[in-house]
Amino acid sequence: MIKYALLCDQDHEFEAWFSNSASYDDQVARKLVECPHCGSLDVRKALMAPAVRTSRKREASPEEQVKQMASKVRAHIRDNYDYVGDEFASEARAMHEGEKPERLIYGETSAEESKALTDEGVPVTPLPDAFAPTPPKKVN
């Protein structure tokens, strides 16, 4: 099947499907193609842009882009930060007070403890769930 953009002698635009180009030629010659707007039988092909398929990948949707970004953030944290689990507050506090060397860490803490760290001036940032890596499995 071929879809053609058509014009009548009154410049009305419409589309029609034909089994092939010969079928279009035959039907127009026999005055079987009629403008749906005005009923004119004097129709011709309009200029059409071809439907070209490219080998380029389609652009990711905004949702897919966010998922890809979140995945990259999780991988970066997992690869570059030390997981300290529920010891996060004490580790962050100890580094802030100079009791332990500073390093990049991530872990869990309560909302109250997180607020206390912030109030004490400890530089912490809660991670949205989408960006938090899955904690590593403990190996005994």
Is 108 a residue whose pLDDT tops 90? yes
Identify whether 50 is part of a domain. Answer: no
Identify which of 138, 134, 117 has the alpha carbon closest to the alpha carbon of residue 126: 117
Note whether residue 30 is domain-resident: yes
Please indicate, yes or no, whether residues 87 and 124 belong to a single structural domain of this protein.
yes
136 within domain boundaries: no
Q: Are both 30 and 90 inside the same structural domain?
A: no
Higher pLDDT, 97 or 139: 97
* One domain, residues 76 and 119: yes
**Count of structural domains within the chain:** 2
- Give the residue numbers spanning the domain of 72: 62-131
Residues 40 and 68 in one domain: no
Is pTM beyond 0.75? Reply is: no
Our CA dihedral for 61, 66, 67, 71, rounded to 10 degrees, sits at 140
pLDDT for 58 equals 76
Average pLDDT over residues 55-67: 83
Beta bridge partner(s), residue 107: 85
In this structure, the answer to whether residues 66 and 127 fall within a common structural domain is yes
pLDDT, the chain, mean: 91
Question: Could you give the 3-state DSSP secondary structure of residue 79?
Answer: helix
